[in-house]
Structure 1
Amino acid sequence: MTTEAIEQLKYPVGKFTKPAPITPSHLQHWTDTIGAFPEAVATLTRSLSQQELNWTYRPGGWTIKQVVHHCADSHMNSMMRFKLALTEESPTIRPYHEDRWAELPDSLDDDISNAQDLLKGLHGKWVKLISALSNADLQKTYVHPEHGKSFTLAETIGTYDWHCRHHLAHIQLALDHQGRFNF
């Protein structure tokens, strides 16, 4: 498999590019994606067998179940970052090793119902929070030490719209390839 083909599997919706400027239309579209994400995951995974939950979307990639568990972990972290940015002056957030988290027992569990329940509740709260943000709130920032820069909440909403679409595409790729990348 070529490097280009692996890159396409790794980033099936491309990489996030922040639009300039971020418009109310962007924010609404992104918020809608975040709101619809839990049901989209449930729809794709509703009738999967244990074997199918263990299919990967690319060579060396995560399984479907790891992707679902990762989204719950990642989006939980993002919600905390939002709340920190809204209540502190440009806080420095704490990154985490998502690759290591994906190997923990809860991320290897074939039962993804808890992660799906978490996504449903979390996204419900997250959309309520995002929808209530003022223009001033959207410009609040946090510092991500791994990137060495600040991110606005407006930009972060776009990043998580991308993250939702990115991982839905991973699940769909794993289903389309039917275990072909499992070694």
Structure 2
Amino acid sequence: MEDLEKLRYPIGHFNCPAEISEDDINLWINVLDKLPEKLTNLVGEFSEVQLDTPYREGGWTVRQVIHHLADSHHHSYTRFKWALTENRPLIKAYFEKEWSELFDAKTAPIELSLNYLTALHAKLVYLVKGISSEDFKKYYIHPVGNVNVSVAENLGKYAWHSNHHFAHIKNLAVRNNW
């Protein structure tokens, strides 16, 4: 059996650069821009059995991962907006594991979340391409540890998050010769 850490974190953990460059920002925007199409191309022909296969033992199914991406990136989009329009807002965290156990995450057609991600990422990319370098320094406060998260760092986190979960599904497909 593969190493559990490698299955859980196939691209490693997110490490934000101490100094976020314009190149970092452009790379991260590109990742977010391309995710919906890449993901749709990867899972578009999956069968119901494949969609209900966990990416690792004890992990979420492909369907749950796709719905999780939509839920998580929905929260992220709101966090961007709060950070850009409010002074150091304290955001609300959510229980992603519990959300993944809800009826919709376990049974809904993936097209709902794929279509949502397409629209959401288009809006997000449009937004972040139009903000100033000063806007990227604005931040929100995450309630777990009262950590300041800048708009730039949040961009990096969600680019990593996109690649992280894409790798879960892609690696499963490769392992199973799908």
TM-score (structure 2 length as normaliser): 0.96
Q: 5+ residue gaps in structure 2?
A: none
Report the counterpart of residue 154 of structure 1 in structure 2: 152
Runs of 4+ off more than 6 Å? none
Report the counterpart of residue 67 of structure 1 in structure 2: 65
Question: 1:11-160 counterparts in 2 under 5 A?
Answer: 11-160=9-158
In the TM superposition, what whole-angstrom CA distance separates every residue of 1:35-80 from its partner, at most 9, and x where no partner exists?
0000011011010000000111111100000000000000000000
What letter is aligned with 2:157?
Answer: T
CA distance in 2, matches of 1:116, 1:68: 7
How far residue 177 of structure 1 moved from its aligned partner, in angstroms, is 3.2
Partner SS for 1:167: helix
Partner SS for 1:95: coil
How far residue 20 of structure 1 moved from its aligned partner, in angstroms, is 2.3
How far residue 110 of structure 1 moved from its aligned partner, in angstroms, is 4.8
CA distance in 2, matches of 1:88, 1:28: 24
Q: 1:139 to 1:21 in 2, by over 3 A?
A: same
TM-score (structure 1 length as normaliser): 0.93
CA distance in 2, matches of 1:69, 1:172: 16
Partner SS for 2:80: helix
How many residues align? The count is 177
In the TM superposition, what whole-angstrom CA distance separates every residue of 1:62-99 from its partner, at most 9, and x where no partner exists?
00000000000000000000101111101000000000
CA distance in 2, matches of 1:147, 1:68: 28
Partner SS for 1:108: helix
How far residue 176 of structure 1 moved from its aligned partner, in angstroms, is 2.5
In the TM superposition, what whole-angstrom CA distance separates every residue of 1:104-149 from its partner, at most 9, and x where no partner exists?
1110125100100100000000000110110111000000011321
Report the counterpart of residue 172 of structure 2 in structure 1: 174
Partner SS for 2:107: coil
Query: Percent same amino acid at aligned positions?
Result: 40
Partner SS for 1:151: strand
What letter is aligned with 1:148?
Answer: N
Report the counterpart of residue 6 of structure 2 in structure 1: 8
Q: 5+ residue gaps in structure 1?
A: none
The 8 Å contact of residues 50 and 110 in structure 1, kept in 2 or not, is answered as no
RMSD: 1.3
